């Protein structure tokens, strides 16, 4: 069975500092990986996705994630965070043969402090 | 705006009651998914419909049921409500059932059972 583990429930960081949100997955077949962001009182928005090809994927707002098959990880990074990045971040996995549903991790709250 | 519409935004009801949550998917999307988000359980997949047919089932209680109508909107029915059913319920949609298609989420319905 698939599972996703987000290793940190909360990550406090100062503005303009780099950040890494960690995600590990478990699956015995080919996977597709996603990061979603949830701002307060809103739904989840897709941040970026890994489907195939280059293991480094980027979002339009400066986040990037690297798929590491040997370590079964898909960590999310940003070199310099802004106050507006404060939100909850969810890692999710799907796999070949799946119907399309996503399995989510428990989420990581990123708190950017001035 | 994801294009997924959920109503109502908030629902307050008493234990033992029954409620219906409604979801309209993005235009062109045939798959609808329901998720429950709570503090202790995180984001849990409940059920998926594709073009009117149930496609996948997750941790959905027997007191809960769902359906997708010919116009593709979906309803989640929760009955014999308990305090523990208080949560944020999300609907998401995707084009089909491909495992590499991202899901698009609505803003959720916050259910409070008193």
For range B11-28, the mean pLDDT: 97
pLDDT level of residue B97 (50, 70, 90 thresholds): confident
Q: What pLDDT digit, counting tens, does each position of B65-94 carry? A: 999 999 999 999 999 999 999 999 999 999
In this structure, chain B runs to a length of 114
Chain B nearest-CA distance from A67, in A, is: 15
> Which of B100, B105, B106 to probe the A interface (max A CBs under 10 A)?
B100
**pLDDT score recorded for residue B68:** 98
Contact present, A64 and A20 (Cβ < 8 Å)? no
Written in H, E and C, the secondary structure of chain A is CCEEEECCCEEEEECCCCEEECEEEECCCCEEEEEEEECCCCCEEEEEEECCCCCEEECCCCCEEEEECCCCEEEEEECCCCHHHCEEEEEEEEECCCCCCCEECCCEEEEEEC
Chain B CA closest to residue A51: B100
Residues of A in contact with B10 (CB under 8 A): none
Angle at B88 between CA A60 and CA A97, to 5 degrees: 65
Find the CB nearest B105 among A32, A44, A96.
A44
Q: What pLDDT digit, counting tens, does each position of A3-48 carry? A: 899 999 999 999 999 999 999 998 777 889 999 999 988 899 999 9
Residues of B in contact with A96 (CB under 8 A): 99
**pLDDT score recorded for residue A41:** 83
Compute the mean pLDDT over every residue in chain A, rounded to the nearest whole number: 92
Chain A nearest-CA distance from B23, in A, is: 13
């Amino acid at each position: 069975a698939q599972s996703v583990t987000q290793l940190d429930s909360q990550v406090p960081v100062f503005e303009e500092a780099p950040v890494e949100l960690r995600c590990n997955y478990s699956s015995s077949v080919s996977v597709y990986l996603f990061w979603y962001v949830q701002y307060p009182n809103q739904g989840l928005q897709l941040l970026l996705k890994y489907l195939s090809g280059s293991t480094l994927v980027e979002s339009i707002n400066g986040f990037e994630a690297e798929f590491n098959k040997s370590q079964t990880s898909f960590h999310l990074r940003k070199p310099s965070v802004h106050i507006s990045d404060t939100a909850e971040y969810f890692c999710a996995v799907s796999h070949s043969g799946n119907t399309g549903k996503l399995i989510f991790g428990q989420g990581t709250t990123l708190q950017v402090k001035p | 705006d994801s294009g997924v519409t959920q109503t109502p935004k908030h629902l307050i009801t008493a234990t033992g009651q029954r409620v219906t949550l409604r979801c309209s998917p993005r235009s062109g999307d045939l798959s609808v998914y329901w998720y429950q988000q709570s503090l202790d359980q995180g984001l849990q997949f409940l059920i998926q419909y594709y073009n009117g047919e149930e496609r996948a089932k997750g941790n959905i209680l027997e007191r809960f049921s769902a359906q997708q109508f010919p116009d593709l909107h979906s309803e989640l029915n929760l009955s014999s409500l308990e305090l523990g059913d208080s949560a944020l319920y999300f609907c998401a949609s995707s084009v089909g059932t491909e495992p590499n298609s991202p899901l698009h989420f609505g803003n959720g319905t916050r259910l409070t059972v008193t």
